[in-house]
Chains A and B, each alone.
Chain A
Amino acid sequence: MKRTLSIVALAMLVALALVSCAPKGPAEIVIGGVGPVSGEAATFGKSTQEGCELAVEEWNAKGGVLGQQIKLVYEDDKGDAAEGAAVWTKLIQQDKVVAIVGTVMSKVSLAGAPISEQYGVPMISPTSTNPAVTFADGKLREFVFRACFIDPFQGTVGAKFAFDDLGARKAAAIFDVGNDYTKGLSEFFRDTFIALGGEIVAFEAHATGATDFKAQLTKIVQAKPDVVYISDYYNDVALIAKQLRELGFTGPLVGGDGWDSPDLVKLGGEAVENGFFTNHYSKDDTRPEVQDFVKKYTAKFGAAPDALATLAYDAMNIMLDAIARAGSTEGVKIRDALKATDFAAVSGRTMFDEQHNPVKAAAIIEIKGGQQVYRTTVAP
């Protein structure tokens, strides 16, 4: 009995081994995508996934890249740095991706970047604006790139807009103390505003995940600022704006690209009126590439693309373009091809500087009548 059992087991093992050695289907190039599909900024993840999918679909229709079809493996980082690190490792080790397009939030990109560096898998973040993602501790991260402008520029644009366009001389800021992006952006805003000659009357922090900001906002309102700079993501911005209005503040609000979501007006309602934010693109931009893209995206997904979707589309295109020019899926070759990028992206012509950051203009969007209305473009 025992002998028969062991023979049967052995036979099964051999059969299994033979089966797994069977030839696979036609070769594909696997690209990883990462975004916060769930969590505190879920619309960001949805938009970036859609942008990536649209780009991959277009390339595949034209024959793929390097003669092979592209397979996109998109993972959810839940807006959490630890989850992001886990997902990065999974994509590289399990799915064997040749490149990663991701992720949205700077705090998660900061977790994924060292992993990309370690394994030599190039990554391009569509929207992480914190400078430390590509350049940290005085060292450049060789395999990490981004498709968007960085926060020193964004904070400066915000400050200049508040000072010159809105005529503000006293500003207050509130940010999430546990989020590198919001903290960094607020600091860049503050530094530029002071350099322009303005005064920061209140600089308040709130804990991550808080819903009641009244204590800090009371301090802000009592300091009588002309404008309040809110560097948070749209979920928190909506609550902060509501509570600011409840406390009697009627002035303008300024913020960064974290505002860009259809949910901002859904959650914030009237409170976010007279709000302005710096963004990577505007759907009202009359350039033909933009209008073409808006049409394509709306036809496929039923709504106009936000900056997240646009940048994801651009980032994926840049990456695939680099792979095509590299003529290989080797990390080092793709990296070199990326460095030499000169690509006409929807969000603007993209070339990387020594810190792997593109030099791009910012659009300023106003929330008027519950809509995002394009106000102006600011070149670097």
Chain B
Amino acid sequence: MGSIFNLQQVVNGLQLGSIYALIALGYTMVYGIVRLINFAHGDFFMIGAYAAYGAFFLFNAVLGGSGLPMAGIALVLAMAASGGVALLTNRLAYKPLRYKPKLSSLITAIGVSMLIEYLFSAIPFIGPSFRAFPDILPSRPIQIGPNATISTHALIDIGVAAVLMIGLTVLVRHTALGKAMRAVSQDKDAAKLMGIDVEKVIAWTFLIGGSFAGAAGLLAGMTYPRIFPFMGILPGLKAFIAAVLGGIGNIPGAVLGAYIMGVAETFATAYNSLLGEGIAFAILIVVLLVRPRGILGEKSADKI
């Protein structure tokens, strides 16, 4: 038992949870604004990882293979690429269906997801096989207790996630855009009557949510340096469950849900590796049966 519930495993869970948190934030933001579960969100995560990989190849000669400048450029490119693709899918796939039945948007989201995955598999220099993610910031363990270490990768994962989450909170609470986002998520039509350009706010939401997924992609590529076009499916699904756990549509809820998910998955895997794989889905079933609105979510009539 001691090898399951101990400080090291908690650290492991927090590291995993940070990556889930960044992805879950995108899910929850988009749901909050347009009541759409964007199943393609996991693929924005994948695009971020590949964009960072590409950044390495473009700037390797100039900046050297590892170090902060390289990592910085990779982060910027990953977030830009994912945010850009998110913006594009909103414009091309979701906007035309904005005022049509919700089911159409849902199915379209699944279609977009598969399109991105198979497109990336087919492009030869991205390709279907695994790719080794370059060692952009080598990892070193730091002793934090008699029996626990935290690696520099874990610190970076938790740190970057924290910074981005704080940035988002500032955006949502203290800027005009944030206020508009909160307004649109409360009541889209009333916001329009108040003179808010709803489509523009939605576009910004996709951009920010997508770029967070891209950042998560870079962190995942760095921490688990093996990328392939379908890498977004499972993390995307788990992050979605995390968002549901915390209350879909609720930003702090997404973060809470993600960290709970990360720690739970780590403990479960330590007990039995197959249980670890299934625990996310077990959590989903329990949440939907016991408290469908999630931990911090508000009661609402129906959610598809």
Contact = CB atoms under 8 A, between A and B. Distances in A.
Interface in A243-289: 245-248, 263, 266-267, 269-270
A239 interface: yes
In the A-B complex, the 9 residue pairs with the closest CB atoms: A215-B269, A211-B224, A246-B151, A215-B270, A214-B12, A219-B3, A267-B132, A42-B129, A248-B149
Given A40-B130, A42-B129, A222 B225 contact: no
A303 interface: no
Contacts of B135: 269
B226 A235 contact: yes
Contact of A239 (B149, B226, B266): B226
Given A222-B147, A223-B3, A215 B12 contact: yes
Contact of A247 (B8, B16, B128): B8
A39 interface: yes
Given A207-B277, A269-B135, A247 B151 contact: yes
Contacts of B266: 212, 214-215
A204 interface: yes
Given A214-B266, A215-B270, A219-B4, A38 B277 contact: no
Contacts of B234: 209
A239 B220 CA distance: 12
A216 interface: yes
A325 interface: no
Nearest to A264: B132
Contacts of B224: 211-212, 239
Contacts of B225: 238-239, 242, 267
Nearest to B140: A246
A49 B226 CA distance: 24
A263 B270 CA distance: 28
Contacts of A205: 273-274
For A40, A205, A235, A242, the residue with the greatest tally of chain B CB atoms inside 10 Å of its CB is A242
B159 interface: no
B141 interface: yes
B139 interface: yes
A214 B153 CA distance: 13
Given A239-B224, A242-B225, A222 B129 contact: no
B128 A38 contact: yes
A284 to B, nearest CB: 25
Contacts of B147: 222
Interface in A304-329: none
Contacts of A291: none
A221 to B, nearest CB: 8
Nearest to B151: A246
A13 to B, nearest CB: 38
26 contacts: A38-B128, A42-B130, A206-B269, A206-B273, A207-B273, A207-B276, A207-B277, A210-B273, A210-B276, A215-B265, A215-B267, A215-B269, A215-B270, A215-B276, A216-B273, A218-B6, A218-B9, A218-B270, A219-B270, A223-B3, A246-B139, A246-B140, A246-B151, A247-B8, A247-B141, A266-B132
B9 A215 contact: yes
Interface in B243-282: 265-270, 273-274, 276-277
B143 interface: yes
B38 interface: no
B157 to A, nearest CB: 11
A272 B141 CA distance: 16
Given A206-B273, A212-B269, A222-B147, 8 more contacts: A38-B129, A39-B129, A177-B273, A214-B266, A218-B8, A221-B8, A242-B225, A248-B141
Nearest to B149: A248
B15 interface: yes
A266 B130 CA distance: 12
Interface residues of B, number: 39
Interface in B195-226: 220, 224-226
Interface residues of A, number: 34
B139 A216 contact: no
A247 B149 contact: yes
Contacts of B128: 38
Given A235-B226, A267-B132, A222 B8 contact: yes
Nearest to A206: B273
A242 B138 CA distance: 10
Interface string B6-48: 1011001001100000000000000000000000000000000
Interface in A31-66: 38-40, 42
Contacts of A269: 135, 138
Contacts of A246: 139-141, 149, 151, 153-154
Interface string B149-186: 10101100000000000000000000000000000000
B248 to A, nearest CB: 24
For A177, A207, A263, the residue with the greatest tally of chain B CB atoms inside 10 Å of its CB is A207
Nearest to A40: B130
A214 B266 CA distance: 8
Nearest to A46: B129
A270 B269 CA distance: 26
A216 B276 CA distance: 10
Contacts of A206: 269, 273
B95 to A, nearest CB: 34
A245 B152 CA distance: 12
A245 B268 CA distance: 22
A218 B276 CA distance: 15
A38 B147 CA distance: 40
Contact of A214 (B4, B6, B15, B268): B15
A210 B270 CA distance: 13
A191 to B, nearest CB: 21
Interface in B102-148: 128-130, 132, 135, 138-141, 143, 147
